[in-house]
Chains A and B, each alone.
Chain A
């Protein structure tokens, strides 16, 4: 794993919600162009951990971050960092598909538009490219003007992925992206992730261990805010070093 350069890394990061400590001194490197899964029982801090990478925790009042997170060796918890630029580079897909109540086209064009692209032809190109990349183009090419809310849940989630791609990020964070989806939609998203990792670095939070085992290259196991174990997915699932990891992945608890 050390042979792959780190795209992002955390350095003894602790996160506090008021007085509650959600993460304890987590140090972890996210390998470039790989899929890194973060697993752990509910409430272990997986989602909070994921939200460190694009500073989404900033939106929650009274959060405090200690330690540092780096994107390409640039510290992102820094007064000089532009959060807007950071979030352009580190996109996010949420647990519940959350397309805007706008047309399919406007959803995908939202990011480019807020970043200043106005030219209609250029926007059309971006929308088509991203919908193709998200394997949704064939299903929606005739209804780009209809409301995104009329799509199925699986289509909505792929639309959200297309919307993220339109901003041309380097890293994509996925927060349990399949938990609200049926098995077939889940499979399509997982296939899509394999496709996307060629051009992007992916971090996925999942409570579904089969998904982590199937779809990721590296896995981090979090427990009560602590990083218990991190390694190549195959190793972690076949020969866990920590007994707590073993207990969790074999389903003895959790």
Chain B
């Protein structure tokens, strides 16, 4: 009576263990396959144009003859739009997170957290639509522009997309700061604001940095909202209120018209490689920052 269940349990344990191993490996395998596919489809473009003139070229004429593939305008566009988005989303997001976990009453917190989750759940095309209808005319009239569809409008809308990520992950990090630190600070006669600024935010900075990095990831990868409100101009922007194109939106717009495995198709995949490398670099930097923080805080 006693031996059979034990044997079964062991068998079951082994099955579960194998499943867990499998699901771990499958993500790695899928990631690997995506990477291979991306490079296989994209790299052939470099037999037509060299990588330097691809990345630093300023002219994008994919269907003229001869075609020209310079993606610098889109790289600059992506960076500008992301920069604007972060400029808004970081102070607002970290501030909101500190407010939620340290200042708001528990009732208010319970009310606001679902609202932030709803914000995160709004489809990006809806945000794009809101930007198109509501924000673009405002931006246009404030800055006296010929069009409100530009980098600034796109950046503002994009900040709404990174905000929920930054708020919720920062809030987790801030809430996880041991209450002993706060008590020590208050007991030394620090005010709430001093405690937040000098103890709570530094102690939760690894989590806050992680939230910002994830926010950057979302901003760079976001396509639909930016496509709708960034204006789509193909030349290098010289001002944040210029219409511009970003990498993701350019790929989305052109992939349907590109002939399969033609030069334009390959160039678009190569833009995907560039995006991939940008996010990779962001992730590596965030890992380095986090490690440095942890070392400074004596947690390693």
On A, residues with C-beta under 8 Å from B are 54, 56, 59, 61, 84-88, 91-92, 94, 96, 98-102, 110-111, 113-115, 146-150, 160, 163-164, 167
Contact = CB atoms under 8 A, between A and B. Distances in A.
Contacts of A111: 188-190
B183 A102 contact: no
Interface stretch (B127-135, B195-203, B235-243, B268-276): B195-203
A114 B191 CA distance: 8
Given A100-B203, A102-B202, A149 B194 contact: no
Nearest to B180: A98
A164 B186 CA distance: 11
A98 B188 contact: no
Interface stretch (B11-19, B150-158, B292-300): B292-300
16 contacts: A59-B186, A87-B188, A88-B188, A91-B188, A98-B183, A100-B203, A101-B202, A102-B297, A110-B190, A110-B198, A111-B190, A114-B189, A114-B191, A114-B198, A148-B298, A149-B297
Closest 9 CB pairs of A and B: A147-B298, A98-B180, A149-B298, A87-B189, A92-B187, A88-B189, A101-B297, A111-B188, A114-B190
Contact of A110 (B185, B298, B299): B185
Nearest to B203: A101
B278 interface: no
A62 B27 CA distance: 48
B184 interface: yes
A252 to B, nearest CB: 35
A56 B187 contact: yes
B189 A85 contact: yes
Interface in B195-252: 198-199, 202-203
A114 B198 CA distance: 9
B178 interface: yes
B181 interface: yes
A91 B184 CA distance: 10
A101 B298 contact: yes
> Which of under 10, 10 to 19, 20 to 34, or 35 or more describes the interface residues of B?
20 to 34
Q: Among the interface residues B183, B203, B298, which one has the most CB atoms of the partner chain A within 10 A?
A: B298
B298 A84 contact: no
Contact of B187 (A85, A91, A147, A150): A91
Contact of A59 (B183, B191, B202): B183
Given A98-B181, A100-B199, A101-B202, A87 B296 contact: no
Nearest to A151: B298
A250 B53 CA distance: 88
Given A101-B297, A147-B298, A148-B298, A56 B180 contact: no
B180 A96 contact: yes
Interface centre among B106, B187, B297 (most CB of A within 10 A): B187
B180 A147 contact: no
Contacts of B181: 98, 100-101
A164 B182 CA distance: 14
Contacts of A100: 181, 184-185, 199, 203
Given A98-B178, A100-B203, A113-B198, 18 more contacts: A54-B187, A84-B189, A84-B190, A86-B189, A92-B187, A94-B180, A94-B183, A94-B184, A98-B183, A101-B181, A101-B298, A110-B188, A110-B190, A111-B189, A114-B188, A160-B184, A163-B184, A163-B188
A147 B191 CA distance: 24
A99 B188 CA distance: 12
Identify the interface centre among A92, A146, A148: most chain B CB within 10 Å of its CB. Answer: A92
Contacts of A150: 298
Nearest to A92: B187
B186 A56 contact: yes
Contacts of A163: 184, 188
Contacts of A86: 189
Interface in B139-188: 178, 180-188
A36 B21 CA distance: 60
A178 B186 CA distance: 21
A94 B179 CA distance: 12
A70 B183 CA distance: 22
B186 A87 contact: yes
B183 A167 contact: no
Contacts of B203: 100-101
Contact of B296 (A92, A115, A147, A167): A147
A113 B190 CA distance: 9
Nearest to B197: A114
Q: Which of A96, A101, A102, A167 has the most CB of B within 10 A?
A: A101
Contacts of A54: 187
